[in-house]
């Protein structure tokens, strides 16, 4: 780094011992942004710096999907999308390495409503975290999948955007995450670079002609960054797309892509580069015959019951699995979803609706958080203490709850389901999402 940075070396070193800036990205579909902040991120209109770090876990707005806590450099993906794609068009987009979902929630928020976005994560435990974060984000034109990048091969040539935010040696996280320092070694760098190249080779195949590849890491070494970028141009035949960045943003432009150093930007170490696949976009072949799919369109009677919970039911296709669990995808995304489902066996719409039992929908947690939920569902507004009790899966202690299914809300944003039973209320917040932290930051259990 000393050789690369020259006279900037000391400033870089000093930044590594400073505390990292705190930032979050607001969910434009749910929340206008924090009333008090310490400036905006220059490259992402929804990004805000905070003067200090609150205990985010104890803020019900986080659990309502009002914002995502994301370090600021990573939000540059917003500027990369803006400069490389026509975001007013319907696009088919894929995040190949998506968990926990920082960049996926950003992408989902920038695509048009008639676009379709697949967020993929290969590691099962991380897939569940991804599902939680995207369910909270609440946008319905999203599916999540749990596959190795190589499994996407039958979908070659289809995607307008593929983000590959590859697992890396994490040099840019040294001041935030001591584990990143412990795990680093020159062998680890070489191992990561080779793995990234395998993932990138899969990513390149998936691009439609004219499609955009965004490759990013949170590390500084050239093996994992520019050398992989060079390979994308020289061996994989992609066109390098340089981005235009105002000098005052402090981003260092290298021979391929953009570098983020903590002494120059208010953010962590980060690298991002964009490429385009040459050629004009052709309409990909429709699959001749779809194999038996795990999710099937729901029978009319069940669909009618579930449809009453949706804002615009005619714009949604309702689906059902063999166990009777219902989910929904916008009609505009239906064809792309079925095509993807024919190739991938672990893909599901982010919008789970629940199950119909004895003529009644038992609503799923994701439905409460979705922007597709009907506005006419009964709700109860909780104050912060009640909301935290609700999120801990305790009795929220609300004096009056109407009978039946009711939304628990905080500052007008749904958190989840309760059921009023006359003299008491059942809390349907999912156990696996509940807050374990107590006031003062202590974690129970
Ligand atoms: N994009 C995420 C975000 O912004 O929140 C962070 C992604 S993280 C840098 C890289 C992800 O790649 C991890 O979730 C990791 O589990 C996943 N991963 C690990 N090995 C992989 C592989 N061989 N192929 C694809 N993804 C892999």
What are the tens digits of pLDDT across the range 246-288?
999 999 999 999 999 999 999 999 999 999 999 987 776 665 5
- pLDDT band at 441; cut points 50, 70, 90: low
Mean pLDDT across the chain: 95
Pairing between β-strand 207-217 and β-strand 270-276 as defined by DSSP bridges: antiparallel
- pLDDT band at 39; cut points 50, 70, 90: very high
Q: How does pLDDT run across 408-421, given as a tens digit for each residue?
A: 999 999 999 999 99
Q: How does pLDDT run across 345-368, given as a tens digit for each residue?
A: 899 999 999 999 999 999 999 999
Question: Rounded to an integer, what distance in angstroms lies between the CA atom of residue 259 and that of residue 147?
Answer: 29
Q: Is 398 left (phi over 0), alpha (psi -120 to 50) or beta?
A: beta
Return the residue whose CA atom lies nearest to atom 26 of ligand 1.
97
Residue 414 is predicted with a pLDDT of 98
DSSP conformation class of 437:
B
Read off the pLDDT of each residue in 94-115 and give the average, rounded to a whole number: 98
Whole-Å CA distances, 27 to 1, 96, 100, 429 = 36, 22, 16, 21
Read off the pLDDT of each residue in 122-127 and give the average, rounded to a whole number: 97
Residue ranges and CATH numbers for the domains of the chain are: 18-276 (3.40.50.150), 290-331+348-377 (no CATH), 378-445 (3.10.450.720)
Residue 313 is predicted with a pLDDT of 96
For residue 177, pLDDT over 90 is answered with no
Question: Rounded to an integer, what distance in angstroms lies between the CA atom of residue 65 and that of residue 108?
Answer: 13
CB-based contact 158:206 (threshold 8 Å): yes
Residue 445 is predicted with a pLDDT of 39
For residue 443, pLDDT over 70 is answered with no
Task: State the catalytic residues.
Answer: 218
Express as a percent the part of the chain with pLDDT over 70: 96
The alpha helices in 33-185, defined as continuous H runs, are 60-63, 77-84, 102-110, 124-137, 178-183
Whole-Å CA distances, 240 to 237, 275, 377 = 9, 5, 49
Question: Rounded to an integer, what distance in angstroms lies between the CA atom of residue 181 and that of residue 192?
Answer: 15
From the CA of 413, how far away is ligand 1's center (Å)?
30
From the CA of 121, how far away is ligand 1's center (Å)?
7
Read off the pLDDT of each residue in 170-196 and give the average, rounded to a whole number: 94
Ligand 1 atom at minimum distance from 167 CA: 10
Return the residue whose CA atom lies nearest to atom 12 of ligand 1.
97
For 369, counting Cβ atoms within 10 Å of its Cβ (0-12 exposed, 13-18 middle, 19+ buried), the class is buried
Is the four-CA dihedral 370, 376, 381, 386 of positive or negative sign? negative
Residue 396 is predicted with a pLDDT of 95
Residue 289 is predicted with a pLDDT of 53
Task: Please tell me whether the peptide bond between 46 and the residue prior to it is cis, using omega within 30 degrees of 0.
Answer: no
From the CA of 359, how far away is ligand 1's center (Å)?
41
DSSP conformation class of 175:
T
Return the residue whose CA atom lies nearest to atom 25 of ligand 1.
97
From the CA of 400, how far away is ligand 1's center (Å)?
45
CB-based contact 331:361 (threshold 8 Å): no
For residue 404, pLDDT over 70 is answered with yes
For residue 291, pLDDT over 80 is answered with no
Residue 431 is predicted with a pLDDT of 97
- pLDDT band at 159; cut points 50, 70, 90: very high
Read off the pLDDT of each residue in 229-245 and give the average, rounded to a whole number: 97
Residue 415 is predicted with a pLDDT of 98
Give residue for tokens 């994490």. 170
Return the residue whose CA atom lies nearest to atom 8 of ligand 1.
167
Ligand 1 atom at minimum distance from 100 CA: 5
User: Reading across the β-sheet that carries 404-410, which strands appear in turn?
Assistant: 379-381, 404-410, 413-420, 425-427
Is the four-CA dihedral 353, 357, 360, 363 of positive or negative sign? negative
Residue 368 is predicted with a pLDDT of 98
- In the numeric block, which tokens belong to residue 257? 């892509």
CA-based max dimension of the chain: 72
For residue 386, pLDDT over 60 is answered with yes
Pairing between β-strand 296-297 and β-strand 316-320 as defined by DSSP bridges: antiparallel
From the CA of 170, how far away is ligand 1's center (Å)?
12
Residue 293 is predicted with a pLDDT of 73
Q: Which of 47, 81, 122 to mutate to test the pocket of ligand 1 (most atoms within 8 A of CB)?
A: 122
Q: How does pLDDT run across 44-77, given as a tens digit for each residue?
A: 999 999 999 999 999 999 999 999 999 999 999 9
- pLDDT band at 224; cut points 50, 70, 90: very high
Name all residues whose Cβ lies below 6 A of ligand 1: 74, 96-103, 121-123, 126, 149, 165, 167, 195, 199
Express as a percent the part of the chain with pLDDT over 90: 90
């Amino acid at each position: 780094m000393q050789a690369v940075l020259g006279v900037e070396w000391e400033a870089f070193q000093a930044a590594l011992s400073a505390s990292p800036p705190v930032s979050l990205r607001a969910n434009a579909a749910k929340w206008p942004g924090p009333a008090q902040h310490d400036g905006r991120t220059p490259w992402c209109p929804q990004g805000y710096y905070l003067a200090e770090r609150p205990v985010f876990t104890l803020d019900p707005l986080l659990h309502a999907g009002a914002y995502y806590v994301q370090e600021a450099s990573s939000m540059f993906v917003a500027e990369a999308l803006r400069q490389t794609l026509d975001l007013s068009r319907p696009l088919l987009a894929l995040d190949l390495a998506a968990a926990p979902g920082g960049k996926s929630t950003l992408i989902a928020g920038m695509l048009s409503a008639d676009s379709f976005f697949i967020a993929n994560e290969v590691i099962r435990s991380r897939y569940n975290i991804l599902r939680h974060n995207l369910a909270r984000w609440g946008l319905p034109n999203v599916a999540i999948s749990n596959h190795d990048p190589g499994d996407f091969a039958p979908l070659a040539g289809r995607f307008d955007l593929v983000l590959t935010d590859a697992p890396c040696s994490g040099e840019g996280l040294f001041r935030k995450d001591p584990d990143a320092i412990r795990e680093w070694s020159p062998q680890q760098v070489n191992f990561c670079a080779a793995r990234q190249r395998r993932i990138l080779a899969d990513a390149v195949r998936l691009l439609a002609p004219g499609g955009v590849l965004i490759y990013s890491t949170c590390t500084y070494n050239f093996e994992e960054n520019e050398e992989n970028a060079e390979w994308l141009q020289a061996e994989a035949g992609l066109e390098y797309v340089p981005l235009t960045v105002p000098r005052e943003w402090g981003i260092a432009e290298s021979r391929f892509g953009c570098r983020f150093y903590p002494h120059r930007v208010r953010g962590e170490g980060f690298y991002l580069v964009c490429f385009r696949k040459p050629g004009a976009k052709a309409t990909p072949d429709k699959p001749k015959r779809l194999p038996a799919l795990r999710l099937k369109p729901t029978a009319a009677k069940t669909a009618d019951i579930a449809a009453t919970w949706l804002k615009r039911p005619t714009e949604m296709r309702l689906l059902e699995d063999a166990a009777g669990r219902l989910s929904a995808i916008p009609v505009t995304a239906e064809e792309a979803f079925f095509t993807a489902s024919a190739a991938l066996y672990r893909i599901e719409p982010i919008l789970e609706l629940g199950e119909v039992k004895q003529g009644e929908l038992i609503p799923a947690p994701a439905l409460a958080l979705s922007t597709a939920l009907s506005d006419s569902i009964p709700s109860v507004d909780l104050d912060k203490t009640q909301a935290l009790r609700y999120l801990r899966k305790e009795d929220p202690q609300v004096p009056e709850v109407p009978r039946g299914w009711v939304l628990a809300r905080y500052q007008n944003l749904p958190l989840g389901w309760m059921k009023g039973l006359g003299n008491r209320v059942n809390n349907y917040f999912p156990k696996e999402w509940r807050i374990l932290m107590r006031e003062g930051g202590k974690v129970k259990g």
